[in-house]
């Protein structure tokens, strides 16, 4: 089905290492002209988002300041997978750390590539049904989050009016609404 040819990797060099990702210069041969070209890519652990829904139909969201946009962003709780930690284990940990909620009922919603032009990782999104407040939050050093409980039926309007504008959260909620009958 795919008529295109893969670009052959001829080398790579780490250009920058940060706590969240590495910037890597990849050298690849173009299948069109045979020339070697260099591309900057970002290597990152996988990310996880969680859509926690309480027994009374409230979605548990977090509001936080985002340095890239310089604005507050209403989002799903989530974070980076730690080495040796599965996506589900990350989802369970991040839900408790960021919200103080837990659930015994996690269902995978989707695994998508955040931006395959630049990043090499996946973001895995889970639905956490019957989420309950079971403990205190345990924010990371640079986290400052506000919990926001929203009726599930209001989520679509928050996306449509731009209140929820984080592209990965919008994609996760899209999967939730597309699959709602299958995961009920």
Domains and CATH numbers, the chain: 8-43 (no CATH), 47-183 (3.90.79.10)
Structure tokens at 153: 């039926």
pLDDT the model gives residue 184: 65
Terminal-residue alpha carbon distance, the chain: 35
User: Mean pLDDT per 10-residue run, the chain (184 residues)?
Assistant: 90 95 96 95 97 98 96 97 95 97 97 96 98 92 92 97 97 93 71
- The overall longest dimension of the chain from CA atoms, in Å, is 60
Q: How far, in Å, CA of 169 to CA of 151, rounded? A: 16
N residues, the chain = 184
Q: How far, in Å, CA of 145 to CA of 95, rounded? A: 12
pLDDT the model gives residue 143: 84
Alpha carbon of 161 to those of 75, 126, 145, 153: distances in Å? 14, 24, 22, 14
pLDDT the model gives residue 183: 75
Consecutive H or E run containing 166: none
Alpha carbon of 39 to those of 9, 26, 129, 183: distances in Å? 11, 5, 41, 40
Contacts 24+ apart (CB under 8 A), 83-92: 83/45, 87/46, 87/48, 87/111, 87/124, 87/126, 88/126, 90/46, 90/48, 90/124, 91/48, 91/49, 91/50, 91/124, 91/126, 91/128
């Amino acid at each position: 089905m795919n008529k295109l040819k893969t670009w052959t990797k001829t080398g790579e060099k780490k250009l920058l290492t940060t706590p969240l990702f590495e910037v890597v210069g990849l050298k690849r041969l173009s299948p069109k002209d045979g020339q070697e070209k260099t591309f900057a890519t970002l290597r990152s652990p996988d990310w996880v988002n969680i859509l926690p829904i309480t027994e009374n139909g409230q979605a548990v969201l977090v509001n936080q300041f985002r340095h890239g946009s310089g604005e507050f962003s209403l989002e799903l709780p989530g974070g980076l997978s730690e080495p040796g930690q599965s996506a589900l284990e990350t989802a369970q940990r991040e839900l408790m750390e960021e919200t103080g909620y837990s659930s015994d009922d996690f269902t995978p919603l989707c695994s998508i590539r955040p931006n395959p032009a630049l990043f090499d990782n996946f973001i895995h999104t889970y639905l956490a049904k019957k989420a309950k407040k079971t403990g205190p939050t345990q924010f990371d050093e640079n986290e400052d989050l506000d919990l926001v409980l929203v009726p599930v039926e209001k989520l679509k309007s928050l996306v449509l009016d731009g209140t929820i504008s984080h592209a990965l959260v919008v994609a996760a909620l899209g999967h939730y609404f597309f699959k709602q009958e299958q995961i009920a």
